Amino acid sequence: GAGVSQSPSNKVTEKGKDVELRCDPISGHTALYWYRQSLGQGLEFLIYFQGNSAPDKSGLPSDRFSAERTGGSVSTLTIQRTQQEDSAVYLCASSRGHLEQFFGPGTRLTVL
């Protein structure tokens, strides 16, 4: 079956621009997570969506970061006024409840 998909696979942007990253979770998975993988910080949790509940935004590093999940399925992570320290691989994962999380291939973001 189809796994978690993310787009774009690579994104190069200039400092100060806004970017949108998209995640399509596995069909039927109610939970969706965003993580960031960077050389200095390893894998960090960003935000969590579970069904229609309010998202857990406790991992977002600044108010430039936001995410939404429409119709309980597709999610978009938006970074406004990108900075060079935002350069990383952004990973999306989905799961059924608290069971194992399945990861997508990630979006590699490079901020020049």
Partner 1 sequence: AQSVSQHNHHVILSEAASLELGCNYSYGGTVNLFWYVQYPGQHLQLLLKYFSGDPLVKGIKGFEAEFIKSKFSFNLRKPSVQWSDTAEYFCAVTLSGAGSYQLTFGKGTKLSVIP
Tokens of 22: 């998209």
Which residues make beta-bridge pairs with 59? none
DSSP 55: P
State the residues that interact with partner 1 by CB under 8 A: 31, 33, 35, 42-45, 48, 50, 56, 58-59, 91, 93, 95, 97-98, 100-106
Q: What are phi and psi of 49, to 5 degrees?
A: -120, 135
Q: How far is the CB of 22 from partner 1 (least distance, A)?
A: 16
- Between 8 and 16, CB nearer to partner 1: 8
Q: Tell me the closest approach of the beta carbon of residue 81 to partner 1, in angstroms.
A: 25
Q: How far is the CB of 73 from partner 1 (least distance, A)?
A: 19
For residue 103, the one-letter residue type is: F
**Separation between Cα atoms, residue 39 and residue 41, nearest integer Å:** 6
Taking the C-alpha atoms of residue 98 and residue 112, their distance in angstroms, rounded to an integer, is 37
Dist CA 86 CA 4 (whole Å): 22
CB of 52 to partner 1, least distance (A): 14
For partner 1, which is the closer residue by CB, 30 or 76? 30
Whichever of 67 and 82 has its CB closer to partner 1, that residue is 67
- Is the Cβ of residue 35 or residue 82 nearer to partner 1 in the bound state? 35
